[in-house]
Structure 1
Amino acid sequence: MKRTNPPYVIGIAGSSGSGKTFFLNCFLDHFAPAEIALISQDDYYIPAHTKTREENKLYNFDLPTAIDRAAFYHDIQSLFNGRTIYRQEYTFNNPALTPKTLETKPAPILIVEGLFIFYYAEVNTLLNHRIFLHAEEDIALQRRLKRDLIERGYDEDDVRYKWEHHVMPAYRKYLLPFREQCDRIIINNTDDPVPIQAIVDEISADLRSKALKTL
């Protein structure tokens, strides 16, 4: 069954290590499950074994072509049309993890999250509100190292190589040019959660009055 009105769509993007995961979790906590839906670009990676290797045998996941762009857009459109979507969770090619089947139901508020959401013109045009998260490069790198070394068990040399040759070039080319077009730029250079929580409180209250006032 189609929705009478399209969802209010928020696009959230930022550099690796900018604190997107914490921001998103805080944001989702402000709403009931029936009020908000989240679709993440990360769940649409093309499997690594189908990609071309570089000379050093490291895959480059930080390119727009690393994402199944058509499937990503198709599922966004499905949520617009009131259809529940199902997608296999992306596990970052970790064989120790069993991917879950993710179910996302349509809701009056839709969050679209990912590095390329502003670069993909067909996705960008659907966004009602754009949020850009930023952290200084050295701070973002330390957060990336902590995540990849501890949580994902990656080799530090690989992480640093990808940061220099994949992550930052992609950020500068495919995301940074859209920064000044965003409605809200959030600087997140501290690990203190209080400032981010205060910003989320403000945005959520405003969003509730805009997107949920007729519910």
Structure 2
Amino acid sequence: MLIIGIAGGTGSGKTTVVHQIMNELPHTEVGVISQDSYYKESNNPSYEERSKTNFDHPRAIDFELLASQLKELKAGNTINQPVYSFATHNRTDDIVVTHPRKVMIVEGILILSNPELRDLFDIKIFVHADSDERLIRRLKRDIAERGRDMDEVLNRYQNTLKPMHQQFIESTKAFADIIIPNDKFNTVAIDVVRAVINQRIL
């Protein structure tokens, strides 16, 4: 199994890059795991308190579970991915049954910040985008998909996202094997990734 880690700031275009890579491979040979599924479960009954969670800090992620499940997949075993709800700010009772694939893509803003995860990745990719562009994408996504209002998103960006990006995310670019500037469709970078994948799995 080839494991690809794709990191980058919120709204950098990681999902777009994931889809570009997936389009280059037979769908039966590639699987995707999102860091978002591995936010830690909260025992706090108060929605208001749960909503204060700093989702851009490494301590919010259950890296131990993510790493152990990647190891299970690499050993040829099926896993039950947790499901996290951004509407309730907690895990749900649902699971996603995930089977081993030739290529497994792991995407998330903080995945390169964890040494154990980095060691599991055969290819490490960092998707870079202009900070203004990332903010615009974040605004559109959180308002449309997560039920946030503009003031809430802007406040979180200014007080949490931006400082956390500078402290924990931008620095992980140094661990990347490939850096993809994603202000536009980047065919050259995707061609490089595709060539590496084909070399490893064929």
TM-score range, shorter chain: 0.7 to 0.9
Indicate which of 128, 153, 170 corresponds to 1:159.
Answer: 153
Structure that is richer in strand per residue: 2
* 1:124 maps to 2:106: no
8 Å contact kept, 2:10–2:138? yes
Unaligned ranges ≥5, structure 1: 1-6
Alignment RMSD: 2.6
User: How many residues matched?
Assistant: 199
Using the TM superposition, give the Cα deviation of residue 160 of structure 1 relative to its aligned residue in structure 2, in angstroms. 0.8
* 1:21/1:47 CA distance change after superposition, 3 Å: same
1:93 aligned partner, one-letter code = A
TM norm structure 1: 0.82
Measured against aligned partners, the alpha-carbon deviations of 1:40-71 in whole angstroms (never above 9, x if no partner) come to 2110112455499999x733211111112221
Of the three residues 161, 181, 189, the one matched with 1:199 is 189
Alignment match of 1:20 (pick from 11, 14, 30): 14
Shift of 1:13: 0.3
Structure 2 Cα separation of the partners of residues 51 and 176 of structure 1 = 33
C-alpha distance in structure 1 between counterparts of 2:85 and 2:186, whole Å: 27
Identity %: 34
Matched ranges for 1:1-215 at <5 A: 7-47=1-41, 50=44, 58-94=52-88, 101-190=95-184, 195-208=185-198, 210-213=199-202
Displaced runs of 4+ in structure 1, greater than 6 A? 51-55
Kindly indicate whether the alpha-carbon contact (under 8 Å) linking 1:39 and 1:76 is maintained by their aligned counterparts in 2: no
Q: Given the two structures, how large is their TM-score scaled by the length of structure 2?
A: 0.86
Give 5+ residue unaligned stretches, structure 2: none
Output one character per residue of 1:141-187: Cα deviation in whole Å (capped at 9) or x when no partner. Answer: 01111111122220111111111122122222222112133111111
**Aligned amino acid, residue 212 of structure 1:** I
Worse-superposed segment, 28-37 or 71-80: 28-37
Return the letter of the residue paired with 2:177.
D
Is this contact kept in 1: 2:2–2:201, CA < 8 A? no
Are the counterparts in 2 of residues 39 and 113 from structure 1 also a CA contact under 8 Å? yes
- Deviation at residue 34 of structure 1 after TM alignment: 3.2
The SS at the match of 1:204 is: helix
